[in-house]
Amino acid sequence: MLIRTHNLTKIYPGRFSVPDKPAVVDACIDIAEGETVGLVGESGSGKTTIGHMLTGLIKPSSGEISYCGDPVTLPLRGELRRKLQIIFQHPEISFNPRLPLIKSIEEPYHFYRKADGVQALYDEMGQFGIYPEHLNRLPAELSGGELQRASIMRVLAVRPSLVVLDEVTSMLDSISQAQVLQILKDYQKQHQVSYLFITHHEALCKVFCDKVYRIHEGCIVGLVGSTSQGFNL
Ligand SMILES: Nc1ncnc2c1ncn2[C@@H]1O[C@H](COP(=O)(O)OP(=O)(O)OP(=O)(O)O)[C@@H](O)[C@H]1O
């Protein structure tokens, strides 16, 4: 199993007189190599908290995460930092607003794939719908769909094993949404990446995911898969 969590729990410390708050309780999630796993639930149910724990952005309060059978410990080091990635709902936060797009895309690429040379990066851009005319623009000079495709490219160009997709299409119109999902699927076919697809949008899970966990008030309350029982969200 690429990723397995066992009784993963996050309790955010309360502030002032507010008590500690469990955001995720005893979550057990399996993500196989090349699999797309949905995580669906209402606002505040703990989806993003799980995504942040899986990618090392926040520390679990208890429970374990394993990667190919080995425990994941924080801070993430070495190859694990490259392999566990997240793409956010608002692509602006992945880019420096004062730098041309290409600078922000090249930075992680140079860090992790310097040996492949910059031409390989340019060769890959077209499959993400990013073209030379976009590269010297500031993030604010791109459409929402273009910027989200650029943020996807920035992450996938470093060849991750798991990408948490946190509401990545929710700010997009239906055409851009379909483009982004197609790009993600096409890339997955080539590179066997796994996705954790976080969404409120149950219908999207049916078309995009191999199996779907449902979360309610921090607890995983259901799992349906397209291959076993069929989707019955
Ligand atoms: N840093 C934090 N400190 C305290 N509480 C937090 C923090 N981050 C999230 N929470 C709380 O944890 C709970 C789960 O939040 P989370 O963002 O994981 O939910 P979500 O399902 O992703 O919601 P949404 O779909 O609205 O993004 C919420 O009640 C939220 O207020």
Residue 37 CA, ligand 1 centroid: distance in Å:
20
72 falls within a domain = yes
Q: Which domain holds residue 141?
A: 3-226
Going by C-alpha positions, the residue among 53, 1, 3, 2 that lies closest to residue 25 is 53
Q: What pLDDT, on a 0 to 100 scale, did the predictor assign at position 6?
A: 98
Q: Is the CB of 214 under 6 A from ligand 1?
A: no
- Asked whether residue 59 carries a pLDDT value surpassing 50, the answer given is yes
Q: Is the CB of 47 under 6 A from ligand 1?
A: yes
85 falls within a domain = yes
84 falls within a domain = yes
Residue closest via CA to ligand 1's atom 26 equals 43
205 falls within a domain = yes
**Tens digit of pLDDT for each residue in 147-190?**
999 999 999 999 999 999 999 999 889 999 999 999 999 999 99
Predicted ipTM of the assembly: 0.98
How crowded is residue 164: how many other Cβ atoms within 10 Å of its Cβ? 28
Looking up residue 129, the CATH number of its domain turns out to be 3.40.50.300
Residue 185 CA, ligand 1 centroid: distance in Å:
28
231 falls within a domain = no
- Asked whether residue 231 carries a pLDDT value surpassing 70, the answer given is no
Residue 28 CA, ligand 1 centroid: distance in Å:
18
232 falls within a domain = no
196 falls within a domain = yes
Q: What pLDDT, on a 0 to 100 scale, did the predictor assign at position 225?
A: 76
189 falls within a domain = yes
Element (H, E) at 103: helix 101-113
Residue closest via CA to ligand 1's atom 16 equals 46
Residue 46 CA, ligand 1 centroid: distance in Å:
6
Q: How confident is the model at residue 226 (pLDDT cuts 50, 70, 90)?
A: low
Residues 140, 134 contacting (CB under 8 angstroms)? no
Span of 114-118, 119-123, 130-134, 194-198 with lowest mean pLDDT: 114-118
- Biggest alpha carbon distance in the chain? 56
Q: Is the CB of 83 under 6 A from ligand 1?
A: no
Residues with Cβ within 8 Å of 124's Cβ and at least 6 positions away in sequence, in order, are 153, 157
Tally of domains within the chain: 1
Q: What pLDDT, on a 0 to 100 scale, did the predictor assign at position 178?
A: 92
- Asked whether residue 232 carries a pLDDT value surpassing 90, the answer given is no
Residue 4 CA, ligand 1 centroid: distance in Å:
22
